[in-house]
Amino acid sequence: MENLHQLLLERHSIRRYKDQPVSADDVRTILEAALLAPSSKSARPWQFVVVEDKATLTSLAGCKQFGAKPISSAAFAVVVTVDTTVSDVYVEDASVAATLMHLQAADLGIGSCWIQIRNRFAADGESSETVVREILDIPEQFSVECIVTFGYIDEERKPVDPSKLLWEKVHIGRW
Ligand SMILES: Cc1cc2nc3c(=O)[nH]c(=O)nc-3n(C[C@H](O)[C@H](O)[C@H](O)COP(=O)(O)O)c2cc1C
């Protein structure tokens, strides 16, 4: 897409994917977007785990009670982890990287969805972070922020109508 604003109007969280792999070039471009993310003091505290294996995706989908279903049908997912010993604003650093992957995917015509992991729980009460950490052998000092799922779009979403934007949330000059 040539126009970022148009991309933002058309972007949606996509949770239904075609049963079709994403090309290695597109996977690489999405990861490049993550590695290009700005971070506080340029610490780049994130590390990403790319998961394509169906059985692993299915186990990851059980990491929380609600809202993790898209993981099981994704062509691949990127688990966004961040070193809590390197940055004091690691949540923000990880969030920027996840957002850039989401936007890069949209630009490539690939659907994606942010699946929240930090502060979420599995059906048995276990923390989602612990479940994901154990499945993927993620070291303790890395916080698992979210999993971003990717795949070719298998649902219809309409672009946002700009007249519906919440301009009342914008204050000019002072609150
Ligand atoms: C911090 C954050 C956490 C989210 N967690 C989930 C999630 O766990 N599962 C899910 O299906 N969608 C999740 N989403 C996607 C939101 O539900 C989605 O962005 C919102 O409903 C607006 O829809 P849109 O992205 O299509 O505009 C999350 C989004 C953000 C930014």
**Burial (0-12, 13-18, 19+ Cβ within 10 Å), 37:** middle
Q: What is the pLDDT of residues 35-64, one digit of tens each?
A: 999 999 999 999 999 999 999 999 999 999
Task: Using pLDDT thresholds of 50, 70 and 90, give the confidence band for residue 92.
Answer: very high
| Residue of minimum CA distance from atom 6 in ligand 1 | 115
User: In this model, does residue 101 exceed pLDDT 90?
Assistant: yes
Q: Pocket of ligand 1, candidates 13, 145, 147: which has the most ligand atoms within 8 Å of its Cβ, to mutate?
A: 13
Report whether residue 44 contacts ligand 1, using a CB cutoff of 6 Å: no
CA–CA separation, 51 vs 71, rounded Å?
A: 10
Report whether residue 141 contacts ligand 1, using a CB cutoff of 6 Å: no
> Residue 39: left (phi > 0), alpha (psi -120 to 50), or beta?
beta
Å from CA of 173 to ligand 1 middle: 30
Average of pLDDT values for 104-131? 98
Report whether residue 47 contacts ligand 1, using a CB cutoff of 6 Å: no
User: In this model, does residue 1 exceed pLDDT 70?
Assistant: no
| Residue of minimum CA distance from atom 1 in ligand 1 | 116
Instruction: Determine the CATH number of domain 4-154.
Output: 3.40.109.10
Enumerate the domain spans of the chain.
4-154
Å from CA of 36 to ligand 1 middle: 22
> Can you read off the two tokens belonging to residue 102?
């989401």
User: In this model, does residue 2 exceed pLDDT 80?
Assistant: no
pLDDT of amino acid 46:
98
Say what percent of the chain tops pLDDT 90: 99
Q: What is the pLDDT of residues 3-44, one digit of tens each?
A: 999 999 999 999 999 999 999 999 999 999 999 999 999 999
Indicate whether this model's pTM tops 0.95. Answer: yes
Report whether residue 114 contacts ligand 1, using a CB cutoff of 6 Å: yes
Kindly give the number of the ligand 1 atom that is closest to the alpha carbon of 14.
26
Query: Between the CA atoms of 127, 128, 129 and 130, what dihedral angle is there, to the nearest 10 degrees?
Result: 60
